[in-house]
Amino acid sequence: MTLQECLAKGELELKASPHPERARRDAEALLIHVLRRNRASMLAHRAEELQPDYIDRFNALLARRSAGEPMQYIFGEAEFYGLAFRVTPDVLIPRPETEHLVEKVIELTAPLPQPRIVDVGTGSGAIAIALAHCLPVAQITAIDISAAALAIAEENAERNKVGIRFLCSDLLDAVVGESFDMVVANPPYIAASERNSLTIEVRDHEPALALFAGEDGLSIYRRLVPAACAALAPGGYVALEIGYGQADAIQAFLDGSHFKNIEFTADLQGLPRVASARRS
Ligand SMILES: C[S@@+](CC[C@H](N)C(=O)[O-])C[C@H]1O[C@@H](n2cnc3c(N)ncnc32)[C@H](O)[C@@H]1O
């Protein structure tokens, strides 16, 4: 089978997969991954016969993609804030919209000489590592309840050459008695009832622990907001990524925990995506 025939077969198979619109692009990316060549070289040698073991490897990746597995898990790599992260099904694939949260934290903490920041629900470590990269003087703690996710986050910190303290904990339990200038979190915020409206890529491949937060999607915020208030030094900040339609509920939680200067930052679609507030 030639490279050209492999690509055509891959495109055809992926057209019947959960993401037909990306069939050609994904088939090319999978073949490039197997061949370890660049796109120009692959296309220039379209007529070349492929060795049987390469065909087997390509077919194996095609089967994974056809089942809806995200490309980032297939490659084991994702990009966030210009940095490279290892990702496995134990961690959420970091999303571009979460970069708004990182930007808000930088804006709020950059004036502090040595901000103490805690990232709750660190997953791959994306937020904590991006912050450590941009704020080298910050003291950063990253928490997750999943030991498997923390192992990936630690690997990513090492890979990106940043120093972070990692703790396995339910929300802020492991740091009770400590004081922070910033609590940042992109917690699970999808309602269990929305499960069937998610794409197959998300629903069947990303960790449920990273996605769902009770019947209304608010169960983590409900506990996290008062815990963040208790963990913050006076004048410290909380910054939270929020889901579609959650702004009013988050405003009420923040008001109820005596936060002030409550603000919502919109994403590129104009939807409130980041809630931030200051502890009285
Ligand atoms: C939406 S993911 C965010 C991952 C990463 N911060 C990002 O933005 O890409 C939420 C993370 O919170 C973690 N998590 C869920 N419940 C938790 C809890 N009670 N305490 C600490 N972490 C929790 C999950 O394991 C998951 O890694």
Burial of 197 (0-12, 13-18, 19+ CB in 10 A): exposed
Q: What is the residue-wise DSSP string for 110-136?
A: TTSSS-EEEEES-TTTHHHHHHHHH-T
**What is the distance, to the nearest Å, from the Cα of residue 60 to the centroid of all Cα atoms in its chain?**
26
Atom of ligand 1 nearest to the CA of 119: 6
CA 241 to ligand 1: nearest atom? 8
Q: What is the pLDDT of residue 74?
A: 98
Is the Cβ atom of 217 under 6 angstroms away from ligand 1?
no
Q: How far is the CA of 209 from the centre of ligand 1 (A)?
A: 7
Is the shortest distance between the CB of 191 and ligand 1 below 6 Å? Answer: no
More confident residue, 38 or 156: 156
168-210: pLDDT as tens digits: 999 999 999 999 999 999 999 999 999 999 999 999 999 999 9
The CB of 188 under 6 Å from ligand 1? The reply is yes
Ligand 1 atom 27 nearest Cα: 123
How far apart CA 72 and CA 94 sit, in angstroms, is: 10
Over the chain, what is the mean pLDDT? 96
DSSP 8-state assignment for residue 240 = E
CB of 127 closer than 6 angstroms to any ligand 1 atom: yes
What pLDDT digit, counting tens, does each position of 85-144 carry? 999 999 999 999 999 999 999 999 999 999 999 999 999 999 999 999 999 999 999 999
For the ranges 13-17, 118-122, 233-237, 252-256, the lowest mean pLDDT is seen at 13-17
CA 207 to centroid of ligand 1, rounded, Å: 10
SS3 261: strand
Atom of ligand 1 nearest to the CA of 146: 25
Per residue in 3-56, pLDDT (tens digit) is: 999 999 999 999 998 889 999 999 999 999 999 988 998 888 889 999 999 999
Residue 107 C-alpha to ligand 1 middle, in angstroms? Answer: 23
